[in-house]
Amino acid sequence: MSTVSVVAPASGLKSRAAKSPGTTVTDPALVKRAVKAAALGNAMEWFDFGVYSYIAVTLGKVFFPSGNPTAQLLSTFGAFAAAFLVRPLGGMVFGPLGDRVGRQKVLALTMIMMAAGTFAIGLIPSYATIGVGAPVLLLVARLVQGFSTGGEYAGASTFIAEYAPDKRRGFLGSWLEFGTLAGYIGGAGLVTLMTALLSADDLTSWGWRIPFLIAGPMGIIGLYLRLRLEETPAFAAEVEKAESDRPKVPLREMITGQWRALLLCVGLVLVFNVTDYMLLSYMPSYLTGQLHYDETHGLLVVLGVMALMMIVQPFAGALTDRIGRRPVIATGCAGFLLLSVPALLLIREGSLPAVALGMGALGLLLVCFTAAMPSALPALFPTKVRYGSLSIGFNVSVSLFGGTTPLVVTALIGATGNMMMPAYYMMAAAVVGGFAVWRMAESAGRPLPGSAPSVAG
């Protein structure tokens, strides 16, 4: 007969759930707070992403020498891309640290750094005021953001997964990506509203600062929510089992000792992020730059698709608890393999209904990944290396494949002249993802590796 322990709000590292190797009974109120605290960090990350993407032209004018608008825009996106270069470094620092000192402490630290980096951008003087110091400070702020983001997604998904009851992990994990979509819509929507209400001069002189300064209060709220939480039951149990507050696992073991799970992680994250960045980041530029589609309508279509995804997201997460993560992820891979070309042909047709239908179809397929990955990825690794190994695998894959998607696809179109390259690229990613999901084990309804069974209280 298994021992039952109850997870209830408490302070300190050692959760009461850690005092028994038996079944953990979770406190629903504590689980809800954990989900909110984790999702808010993801929302803030993508709020910044939406703001930066939609206000890039204005930032180019503020932070870089006047003259060539194209050079200004490229410089702005260069600073944006720099954050992706340091994400793996952040993952290698924060991931192992989270496995050593605890998930809650590291997530509080990443929240502070993300908020500080974003808030700092809103305070930087313009190029006209301090010259070359302006783009240098912008780059520093972006590097701080990227470094902290390296520990955010893996930590947040681990945090929710380790708090959630086994039979509801998919549903609760899906709210992490709900936060992603909400943050992006909030950031992009705010910039769109400001662009409509403010003159071009006002937006350039002071209006652009407002979205970045909002990160300050958001960060304080997020930090408050995260500091109110105790450590996850799985980590607290691992600490007690090790009879030490600081279980140490070498970085080498997180990689070589988990090489099979890391390869699966890279493959799953590849299809997840290639399709994500293709739809939400590249498609607006594809509509306007390649198809000469009206810019305003193109942005509104993307925001509409994201709103649709938000509505479907929790239901899809609950579906993964009923039928499994593998069938849902496999459906997304098969859908992108079979429907990418028809969907892109609809988008290229150019009429608003056709574009909306094609984008909507891709968005619904993407939900197969956004709903399942937050619960599937943490289940690849045992508790003692979960945060570290997931951080490394996730961020390496995002940096190599996800963040480079717009650049690679643009280069492929330029080299071949083939406007269907976005569809072919998504199909190739779907093949990789399909192989990974074929090799992964089903985790729905089962305890996380190295953790006791968890049930709802």
Contact indicator for 326, 442 with CB cutoff of 8 Å: yes
Q: 3-class SS at 236?
A: helix
445 Rama class: left (phi>0) / alpha (psi -120 to 50) / beta: left
Distance CA 357, CA 359 (A): 6
Q: Could you please report the per-residue DSSP string of 38-73? A: HHHHHHHHHHHHHHHHHTHHHHHHHHS-SS-HHHHH
Distance CA 27, CA 230 (A): 12
Tens-binned pLDDT, residue by residue, of the chain (457 aa): 344 444 444 334 444 444 445 777 777 888 888 898 888 878 887 888 778 777 777 888 888 777 666 666 667 667 767 777 888 899 999 999 988 888 889 998 998 888 888 899 999 998 888 988 888 898 888 888 889 888 888 999 999 999 999 999 999 999 999 998 999 888 888 888 888 888 888 888 899 899 889 888 888 888 888 888 888 888 888 877 766 555 566 667 767 778 899 999 999 999 999 999 888 878 877 777 667 776 667 778 888 999 999 999 999 999 999 999 999 999 999 999 999 999 999 998 878 889 899 999 999 999 999 999 999 999 999 988 899 999 999 999 998 888 778 778 878 888 888 889 999 999 999 999 999 999 999 999 999 987 878 887 6
CA atoms within 13 A on the CB side of 110: 34
Contact indicator for 404, 420 with CB cutoff of 8 Å: no
- Positive/negative CA dihedral, 208, 116, 89, 64: positive
Distance CA 401, CA 74 (A): 20
Q: Tell me, what DSSP letter sits at residue 442?
A: P
Domains and CATH numbers, the chain: 24-244 (1.20.1250.20), 259-380+404-440 (1.20.1250)
The order of strands in the sheet holding 4-6 is 4-6, 23-26, 454-456
Distance CA 449, CA 380 (A): 8
Distance CA 295, CA 287 (A): 8
